[in-house]
Amino acid sequence: MRAGKAAAALIALFLALAGHAAAEPVRIVALGDSLTQGYGLAPEDGFVPQLQAWLAARGAEAEVINAGVSGDTTAGGAARVEWTLAGGADALIVALGGNDMLRGLDPENARENLEKILAAAERAAVPVLLIGIAAPVNYGPDYKDAFDAIWPELAARHGALLVPDFLAPLRAAIAAGADRARLMQPDGIHPSAEGVRLMVEAVGPRVLELLARVE
């Protein structure tokens, strides 16, 4: 009789622990540059906190970790991805390349660096959402074609989810007549809080898909 009660107690404890483990939120690490870090914005207005709020409003059990570093390039991301993943990640958002483009760096170097990041995620069995950035036409058609092709090609090769252009929602809104000053900070490079909101609305559904890939 006592043995039966002990077994029942152990089963109850196991179920309680299992329930606690199941309730742990999925950790999504956002590896990026100033667009991820939240440059020039109040802490609650950056990409990561706005994405966190967007997910919570839809009942997603997820914690978004801000691994954005202002000024970072794809080389910087590749250099820190291993220890970033080692800190605990169930899923990875990669949003790098803007600073490579602004500096006119060789697209092939950016491709190689992003390849290293995706390979590290594969070794860690962490699903990835790859977020690209479009090069402007003033870099010339050859540079733009080579740069813009990086993200869809790597996403297809590694089976990653893809958002081709992080800033596409802002460009679309401005083209439709929205006030640019309302969506962008005065530097013309970084989004305002309202601009980030549009970015999160566009990226959010893909992040939900990313969560569905976590095992």
pLDDT in tens, 72-97: 999 999 999 999 999 899 999 999 99
Give per-residue pLDDT as tens, 59-69. 999 999 999 99
**pLDDT greater than 90 at residue 8:** no
pLDDT class for 20, splitting at 50, 70, 90?
Answer: very low
pLDDT at 9: 45
pLDDT at 1 over 90: no
Q: pLDDT by residue (tens digit) across 104-135?
A: 999 999 999 999 999 999 999 999 999 999 99
Prediction pTM value = 0.88
Q: Which domains does the chain have, with CATH numbers?
A: 25-212 (3.40.50.1110)
Residue whose entry in the numeric block shows the structure tokens 């109040």: 42
Is 192 a catalytic site residue? no
Active-site hit among 72, 100, 190, 192: 190
70 included as an active-site residue: no
Phi, psi of 153 (to 5 degrees): -70, -45
pLDDT of residue 215: 85
Q: Which residue has the tokens 């596409």?
A: 168
**Residue 6, pLDDT score:** 44
Alpha helix (H) ranges present in 44-140? 47-57, 74-86, 98-102, 107-123
Indicate whether 103 pLDDT > 90. yes
Residue 131 neighbours by CB distance under 10 Å: 30
- For residue 101, give Cα distances in angstroms to 37, 56, 132, 155, 168: 18, 33, 11, 19, 16
Calculate the CA 160 to chain-centre distance: 12
Which region among 2-6, 47-51, 82-86, 99-103 has the lowest average model confidence (pLDDT)?
2-6
**How much is the pLDDT for 101?**
96
Candidates 34, 72, 148, 192; catalytic one: 34
